[in-house]
Amino acid sequence: MLATAALFAFLSNVPARGVEIEEVVFEDRVRVHDLPLVVAHTGLMRWKIVFRGYVAALYLGEGISPDDWSADVPKRLEIVYFWPIDGKAFGRAGEEILARNVSSAEIARPRTRLDRIASLYPEVHAGDRLSLTYVPVVGSELACNGNVLGELKGADFAAAYFAIWLGREPMSAPLRDQLLGRR
């Protein structure tokens, strides 16, 4: 009995290995506002089929299906980049992809928040880690390498913005399918 307790105590202090894709490790689970989020799936975004652009992990609240990503549920998209990208490029690309995925009315409601998030994106370098996290009632948070860049309120904003990666016409359909477990 004492040996079992000692083994359990030892194992509970061993850090989780995480989920690895393209030599990038994502934590198995993260805690956000005291909520546990677990990795649903990971994926690789390729540019022009050949070049690795970035890897991403979709985290969801425990028991939430990836098919329910657009619902008012806790979620996080974490992205690690292989190439530098100018911060202004995020806003331009985001606008184009949003227009393909949500109606003009769905864009109009969170317009000021969409403009704000576009202004928050920094220039990213190879190895930088951006995360977009949404918690119901609290809102969305954009962070770079763990540093919060800004917070935005509203489930409407989160549903629209996550559609850039997970919507019916996302930035990359193969990446979306990987993140939603449809490979």
Query: pLDDT tens digits for 89-142?
Result: 888 888 899 889 988 888 888 889 999 999 999 999 999 999 999 999 999 999
pLDDT at residue 133 in the model: 98
- Does residue 6 lie in a domain region? no
Query: 93 lies in which domain range?
Result: 18-179
Asked if 179 contacts 171 with a C-beta cutoff of 8 angstroms, the reply is no
pLDDT at residue 51 in the model: 85
> CATH code at 91?
3.50.70.10
- Does residue 120 lie in a domain region? yes
Count of structural domains, the chain: 1
pLDDT at residue 106 in the model: 82
- Does residue 96 lie in a domain region? yes
CB-based contacts of 169, cutoff 8 Å, min separation 6: 97, 100, 101
pLDDT at residue 16 in the model: 52
Give Cα separations from 106 to 65, 120, 132, 155 (angstroms).
24, 21, 19, 11
Counting as low any pLDDT under 70, the low residues of the chain are: 1-16, 49
CA distance 180 to 67: 7
DSSP-derived pairing of the beta strands 139-144 and 24-26: unpaired
pLDDT at residue 109 in the model: 85
Q: Which two tokens stand for residue 82?
A: 């292989």
